Amino acid sequence: MDAFAKPKLDDVAREAGVSTATVSRCLNEPGKVTAATRDRVMRAVEALGYTPNFGGKALASQKTSTVGAVLPTLDNAIFARGLQSFQETLSAAGVTLLVASSGYDADREDEQIRALIGRGADGILLIGTARRPAAYEFLKRARTPYVIAWSIGEAGETSVGFDNVGAAREMARRVIAEGHRRIAMISGITHMNDRAAGRVEGVCQALREAGIETADLVVDEVRYAFDEAGEALERLMSRNDPPTAIICGNDVLGVGAIARAKQLGLVVPSDLSITGFDDIDIASIVEPGLTTVHVPHRRMGTAAAETLLALIDGRPVSETVLLETTICDRGSLGPAPAGNRPRP
């Protein structure tokens, strides 16, 4: 073996005085090899600094021990946190993670799914259910198993998530129970985003239950960013009938709204109640603390990984893993003001 060439299975076999088959078995099914041989082989592997060639392995075994994940963005703590535990679980199983992000764009998501399939991902993690049919086509055609997280998928799809509609409904009920009637939402863009849409839907349901005209619900859709939430808040508060409570689609929006409300001289929650969704760190750092829906992101990541691994191995999985959410009361939601609040 040329000193500069990377050692291959053949070299190890020669060094150890066995066949390539035995070396391969040593590495992949050590139980099938005598301790003595295994020892000799391992020593040779060590001596030569052998690392299996990925392409060869993937080609011969028709699997990559790699799974992919397509997230809207990593730049939001909820996905980063979920991904972290997802990755840890995979890593413990000897599987590596391919990461792609779509920037909340359906076209980009299609592309990324395709790319991951092309990279030989044995399975894929997807966020939410709303995407164009083409994406599901690729997956089906490639026979690549996938798991949907953050939402509950349709029948026949495997998913690990929580009830976005129900959780938002519950939060809205609390808001209503505090006496609020003029309620608004700052939501993420609902187009092609079932989680954002579900949260709006949940709020609508609660309003209907309470006999509040849902046509009156003002929903201001913005991208998930502090500033955007701040601007939405200003828009909402400068209406003729400003809300007394604003339900935000997630914590980034909630915190952004609180920050701007304070800048405008509004006191939260006595002038205006604000709620969030997710329960990320900043929800407990901001003042007042953001009352929000706690979502078990880490557990979701772990469960998603376990489910996906099972799917890949052909082990049975429960089609749906439904995680519980709870409401964290931190102070940003309070009773509706008694009289009419002056406009800012």
Partner DNA sequence: ATCCAAAATGCAAGCGCTTACATTGCTACA
Partner DNA sequence: TGTAGCAATGTAAGCGCTTGCATTTTGGAT
**Footprint on this chain of DNA (rule: CB under 7 A):** 6, 8-10, 17-22, 24-25, 27-28, 32-34, 36-37, 50, 52-53, 55-57, 59-62
- At a CB cut-off of 8 Å and minimum separation 6, what does 240 contact? none
Closest CA to 71 of 107, 31, 36, 102: 102
Find which of a copy of itself, DNA, none residue 313 binds, CB within 5 to 8 Å per kind.
none
Closest CA to 60 of 123, 9, 115, 110: 9
Contact (Cβ atoms closer than 8 angstroms) between residue 37 and residue 18: yes
For the CB of residue 12, give the shortest distance to DNA in the complex, in Å.
Answer: 8
Q: What is each CA distance from 13 to 7, 9, 42, 263, 273, in whole angstroms?
A: 10, 6, 10, 72, 71
- When the beta carbons of 51 and 326 are compared against a copy of itself, the nearer one is 51
326-328 and 292-294 strand pairing: antiparallel
Find which of a copy of itself, DNA, none residue 285 binds, CB within 5 to 8 Å per kind.
a copy of itself
- When the beta carbons of 114 and 341 are compared against a copy of itself, the nearer one is 114
Measured at the CA of 281, the angle between CA 278 and CA 282, to 5 degrees, comes to 95
- At a CB cut-off of 8 Å and minimum separation 6, what does 189 contact? 104, 196, 221, 222, 223
**Tokens 């990279």 sit on residue:** 119
- When the beta carbons of 53 and 318 are compared against DNA, the nearer one is 53
Find which of a copy of itself, DNA, none residue 9 binds, CB within 5 to 8 Å per kind.
DNA
The Cα 91–Cα 143 span in angstroms is 23
Find which of DNA, a copy of itself, none residue 20 binds, CB within 5 to 8 Å per kind.
DNA
For the CB of residue 209, give the shortest distance to a copy of itself in the complex, in Å.
Answer: 34
For the CB of residue 256, give the shortest distance to a copy of itself in the complex, in Å.
Answer: 9
Tell me how long the chain is. Answer: 344
The Cα 21–Cα 264 span in angstroms is 73
For the CB of residue 108, give the shortest distance to a copy of itself in the complex, in Å.
Answer: 9
Find which of a copy of itself, DNA, none residue 37 binds, CB within 5 to 8 Å per kind.
DNA
Binding site for a copy of itself (CB under 8 A): 6, 49, 51-60, 62, 64-66, 73-75, 77, 80-81, 83-84, 87-88, 91, 94, 96-101, 103, 112, 114-120, 141-143, 226, 255, 259, 281-282, 285-287
- When the beta carbons of 72 and 242 are compared against a copy of itself, the nearer one is 72
For the CB of residue 297, give the shortest distance to a copy of itself in the complex, in Å.
Answer: 10
- When the beta carbons of 81 and 180 are compared against a copy of itself, the nearer one is 81
- When the beta carbons of 31 and 143 are compared against a copy of itself, the nearer one is 143
Find which of DNA, a copy of itself, none residue 8 binds, CB within 5 to 8 Å per kind.
DNA
Contacts 24+ apart (CB under 8 A), 3-10: 6/51, 6/53, 7/48, 7/49, 7/50, 8/50, 8/53, 9/50, 9/52, 9/56
